[in-house]
Structure 1
């Protein structure tokens, strides 16, 4: 296929009125010309973001513009974009990428402006946190579009500004048990296998402000709370103590609705809605007392049966479907270690 000259693509983009056709033209522009004619492509995209006739595409192009920009040549464009409500969200990252610390003052002003949308204010704080390594986003959803107004840590941001915008320490990766790299027992080998698969998920997407898909060392307080509720078999208790899942979520053909594997900090509270009433904290009489919910997929519980130990001290995993008018449990895997292998294969 012949390469369409850049000037011709430029004209076609500005003349196109069909969104789907525009998308194909834009992808052709990036694929065929961005590598060798980056600045010329940026000029086309920024010109469209300013004056293009497809208004929604003016906004959608911003992420491509931010990706392509290098240095401060387009700083004026991003400063202008911050003043455009439909472009400001990605304009935040563009200004940081093109001007670095010089973007701090205008972005703090944006974050504290009551005239700016919540989404853009949250984006400004999130991007400032990432760039400066300050903990303005600690424990908050990775997507600032999900933040609430009360989660904007404006006092901390303003204190940071008053202190002269110092760099922060960033976030440390969660603490993990040494046996994940030197496994010996069946449990250790299964956990190490799961950890390798979770590491691949973390490579694709990870935000240490709220880390996900880790196997971590549990706190003493969490283990004490668990021990106050159950006498767990050694294999599962050790799993929670050494390899407590932290926001572990996997999906795929085995778990079409996605499976959440509970950690030590979640386990007691996770019984609510199953063994414990979700609103009023009392036990549900119809729930089998020796079943502990250790995971769920779309609300379907996966449980260990505390009275059915295998020869080596492991426990079978049962599953039931929710919304059927009553719990009907079926054997899912013969033991917990087999369940871990299944989760790893799905990750």
Structure 2
């Protein structure tokens, strides 16, 4: 499992980090899980200020395909729209389990915190049903450390990130696996690179 320090170090290059106490920032209709409250208090993905209406943007972390998006705490509850409730009507969507909370996404594919276990799964929208799958990450800190690391390797590679066929250059895939291995082990690092199209 990743530490708070590892999560902060991995996310810091991708935007402003600032403590966001739940008492001041949580807008949800359910109690904020302790692990999520601690994550926003100690890691604090905030991002750049957009304007008074929008507030802070959250973090955008580059990777193959769509970037990862991690919202600030003040926008975490609104990020449930389209999953927990209908984004236009506000109607509760019965297919979405009560024990799930979206904590990040990649192009509307959600990273889902299981409120019962604290583990994070990743689901592809449009797959036909929302099912409990094997967790991708042990907890929110591991997710943050891994996603941030993916973004760091992407940024460090620059234009060399792609091979001639526009797949991720195998040199940088190997670097990613090497950087993820201390966080989640070599086998899981290989699997994670596959999941995210590296």
TM (norm. structure 2) is 0.62
Show the counterpart of 1:241: 41
Between structures 1 and 2, the one with greater strand share: 2
What is the SS of the residue equivalent to 2:113? strand
Q: How does 1:1-347 map to 2 (within 5 A)?
A: 187-198=3-14, 213-218=15-20, 220-223=23-26, 225-226=27-28, 229-246=29-46, 247-253=58-64, 256-308=65-117, 315-330=118-133, 331-347=135-151
Whole-Å Cα distance in 2 between the matches of residues 214 and 271 of structure 1? 23
Q: Runs of 5+ in structure 1 lacking a partner?
A: 1-185, 199-212, 309-314
CA distance in 2 between counterparts of 1:218 and 1:335 reads: 19
Instruction: Measure the CA separation in 1 of the matches of 2:100 and 2:11.
Output: 26
Q: Distance in 1 between matches of 2:77 and 2:95?
A: 18
Q: Bigger relative contact order, structure 1 or 2, given CA contacts below 8 A and separation 6+?
A: 2
- TM-score, structure 1 normalization: 0.37
| C-alpha RMSD over aligned residues | 1.9
User: Given the superposition, is the C-alpha separation of residues 259 and 327 from structure 1 closer, same or farther in structure 2, using an over 3 Å criterion?
Assistant: same
Identify unmatched segments of 5+ residues in structure 2: 47-57, 152-198
Question: Matched residue of 1:266: which SS?
Answer: helix
Moved over 4 A (4+): none
Paired with 2:8 and 2:95, the residues of 1 have a C-alpha distance of 37
User: Whose helix proportion is higher, 1 or 2?
Assistant: 1
Q: Higher Cα Rg: structure 1 or 2?
A: 1
